[in-house]
Structure 1
Amino acid sequence: MENIRCIQTSDITTVSFEDNVYRGTYRGVGKAIEACLQSKTEGNLQLVVLENQIPRLCISLPDTLIKAYRHEEISLAQVYQQMGITVDTDRAMEALKEAGKEKASSAWKMDIVVYPDLFLENNTFDELYTYAINLNPAIEMALWKGGRLTAQVVLPVATNLSGEMKRVRPGVIVLSQDVRLRHNFFGRLTVGNFTNNRIGAQLEMKYRNNNGRMEFGASIGSTGFSAVTSDEGWYVSRRQRINASVTTSLYEPHTNLQFDLKASRYVYGDYGVRGDCTRHFGEYAIGLYGIYTDGEINGGFHFAIPLPGKKWSRKGFVRVKPSDYFAWSYSMIADGKYIEEKMGGSYNVRPGENRSSGFYQPDYIRYFLIRELQRKKSS
């Protein structure tokens, strides 16, 4: 683990840590809980889970639960069932202010991550219209608390398209800053070159309730057009387009379903509403979506599947690894007014954004920690 801090009082031990080794969000949490249960701590225990040094979750284990496990009166699965897990980290982070400098800092360590990229677009059910296969290596580096640098290049492998799609070109090149405010408010400012030929800046804010089942967010962006051309090289337009959105999300823990509803002003000026329903199967996320914008209806599906390699240790300052997930989205409509007028136009500010990566949902983490134990016992 990295960015480890610890402080002990007479009745409670508070530890913060960041997992940059294990794929997904729940495996690292499980490893940290097991390590603490096997230690010689006294009293209650609370763990703060970090992402890029920003607190995401707080896990609490009362002294009675820890003693029962150490005396083999209950199993690890029962510990997971009875432990507290919440988005609220304010009190724990207040206690850690006196903990001093963190150990095993993640700052200025570099990952070279290779992202697979697939583009398919169909006009009919029986004929492939266009395709593109790319490999997109990216340098990703944590700079300071909440600060991250990403620099990606797109390397074409095969395509039946022409122009920019056949050229080596810049991918996502951004500097981002995340912040966490009190009472479960999060913010992010991102500046740079985004996906879908957009370059500019985006500001995001969101609020999560304590159990993480409800989330409300808003974003606003100002971007111009960015592309590699044969005449001008890397061309960037001066014209800025404003996009904005408000979002609400609901996680239903009994079925592991995530519902997202977003109202947006899209990049090219159209207004619309999009709804997503995503089912989480461990680290797999598969979903359907529908969108209505300026009188046009579209829809499709998306998924994120984990790639080989559950654990990638970082022994030095440079690590080379594939991306944790392959994410892909399919759109039902690929021609007509919807495409000609670029309706529903949007972009991502990070490579390979998907609904599995960084999914710090308390019910999801508890459920799949227990499922992972059951899977190991049955295998």
Structure 2
Amino acid sequence: MYADTLTTRLPVRMKRIYIVAFLMLLCTTADAQIMAKLKEIGMENIRCVQTPETTTVAFENNVYRGTYTGIGKAVTACLDGIPGGNLQMVVLENRIPRLYIDMPDSLVHAYKKGDIGLAQVYQRMRISVDTDNAMKVLEKSEKPENTSAWKVDVVIYPDLFLENNTFDELYTYAINLNPAVEMALWKGAKATAQVILPIATNLTGEMKRVRPGIITISQDVRLKHNLFGRLTVGNFTDNRIGAQLAIKYRTDNGRAEVGAQMGVTGFSAVTADEGWYIGTKMRVNASVTASYYEPHTNLQFDLSANRYVFGDYGIRGDCTRHFGEYAIGLFGIYTSGEINGGFHFAIPLPGKKWNRKGFFRVKPADYFAWTYSMVAHGKYIDEQMGKSYYTRPDENRSGGFYQPDYIRYFLIKEAKKAQSKSIK
């Protein structure tokens, strides 16, 4: 009897072993296929963990200009490579998690059957800032493939200075080209070394000299519960050198954000007598910020309370409208009894895609960003009120804009545009 029982159970056990082995083989094959698809479109820092129920992927876009364009390419690649099941995606920036995308099995299945198109996928998929759970899953993965570490970019930034602050000339101006060597180091760390090359100006002194631009090392961190931090040390814009610490918190839907930053900087300039002169007097600046994104109108509202570089206290408000990769906005400042205002914009420069072949790449900046202030004379200028600085050459309101509603809206818009073109 015992022998009979053993012979009847053995095939059942063997079937189970075969099924498990088949599922593991299927997962391994699909895992490799997804990694290959993401590599094919140039994504970096790719990680993948796959089970029979769920595929979890992380990737970083350093090829396509704009956040939603790169995300759209990655979503399509993963949908083409996955055999089925749930799909989770984590969007990275310098290996720091920024966004979480979740597509249930029913959505993936409907797309692969052809019942729905990409626009419907973008509309129904979940996008959130909360990446904690997905990153726990990805801890089980191997080392990231196609890493961005130690790869060098030479990025050419155009620079324009325009101000009406003299009586003998309508405007003072300066046109520069500012090439920067940028390199990702370890996780969250980045090195930047920029030089300013004058092209044309009607100013004198430092504005006519070749001089250092932004030369920094920065370290980004992400803590649990959507808390981000950044420490930057080096030479900044507006003749400041020192250190800045920034921290911010974002809600899961990414619409609201609060933060604070503090900087300790000294004076930095290239002079005719001393060369690169660095002052010893240090100044403290600080700010508390709040931001809200209104998804129906694609308007971003920013409010900050500031202690500016030269000791004046004030508030600043910005309203920015996002038109795809274009961002145009107005701002106003009230500081120590003085009022200023103006406009700013960020516009994409030619070249939607710049492949990285090997560890070295030369490319233009993704965006040209510019700010114009109305007040250029009087007490506001004489006492250097409202002064601040940038710590990165690519700081603008379009680049690196990981806002879930913004990304979903323009993904859907681009998908519908592509669909209408294919029909024609």
* Per-residue deviation, 1:34: 0.5
- Counterpart of 1:358 in structure 2 is 400
Decide whether the 8 Å contact of 1:10 with 1:43 is kept in 2: yes
The CA deviation at 1:264 is 0.3
Q: Distance in 1 between matches of 2:82 and 2:365?
A: 36
Deviates more, 1:339-348 or 1:123-132: 123-132
1:300 equivalenced with 2:345 (yes/no): no
Give the match for residue 76 of structure 2.
Answer: 34
How do 1:268-279 residues align onto structure 2 when only pairs under 5 Å count? 268-279=310-321
Q: How does 1:142-221 map to 2 (within 5 A)?
A: 142-221=184-263
Partner of 1:371 in structure 2?
413
Q: How many Å separate the matches in 2 of 1:194 and 1:13?
A: 42
CA distance in 2, matches of 1:73, 1:42: 15
Q: Match of 1:303, as an amino acid?
A: F
Structure 2, unaligned runs of 5 or more: 1-42
2:285 to 234, 238, 243: 243
Letter matched to residue 333 of structure 1: V
CA distance in 2, matches of 1:123, 1:323: 29
2: CA distance between counterparts of 1:225 and 1:40?
Answer: 55
CA distance in 2, matches of 1:316, 1:126: 52
Mapped partners of 1:181, 1:44: distance in 2: 26
Query: Could you tell which deviates more after superposition, 2-11 or 200-209?
Result: 2-11
Matched position secondary structure for 1:29: helix
Counterpart of 1:98 in structure 2 is 140
Separation (CA, whole Å) in 1 of partners of 2:121 and 2:130: 20
How far 1:62 moved relative to its partner?
0.2
Give the Cα separation in 1 of the matches to 2:262 and 2:248: 12
Point out the structure with the larger strand share. 1
What is the Cα deviation at residue 125 of structure 1?
11
| Residue 128 (structure 1) shift | 2.4
Which residue of 384, 392, 397 maps to 1:342? Answer: 384
Match of 1:4 in 2: 46
Report the equivalent of 2:34.
none
- Give the TM-score normalised by the residue count of structure 2: 0.88
Cα drift, residue 375 of structure 1: 2.4
Is the contact made by 1:13 and 1:41 (CA closer than 8 Å) also made in structure 2? no
- Summarize deviations over 1:308-366 as a string: whole Å, max 9, x none: 00000001110000000000000000000000000001000000310001000000000
Query: What is the RMSD of the two structures over their aligned residues, measured on CA atoms?
Result: 1.2
Q: Structure 1 residues 48, 339: closer, same or farther in 2, change over 3 A?
A: same
User: In 2, Cα distance between the equivalents of 1:207 and 1:85?
Assistant: 17
Equivalent residues, number: 379
**Matched AA of 2:301:** F
Report which of the two has the higher share of helix: 2
Choose which of 360, 365, 369 in structure 2 pairs with 1:327: 369
Deviation at 1:42, TM superposition (A): 3.0
8 Å contact from structure 1 (residues 250, 259) kept in 2: yes
Quick one: structure 1 residues 226 and 125, their matched pair in 2 at CA, closer, same or farther if it must change by over 3 Å?
closer
Kept in 2, the 8 Å contact 1:52–1:145? The answer is yes
- Secondary structure of the residue aligned to 2:77 is helix
Larger Rg: 2
Q: Percent identity?
A: 73
The answer to which structure, 1 or 2, has the higher relative contact order (CA under 8 A, 6+ apart) is 1
CA distance in 1 between counterparts of 2:167 and 2:402 reads 38
**Structure 1 72/363 Cα, relative in aligned 2: closer, same or farther at 3 Å?**
same
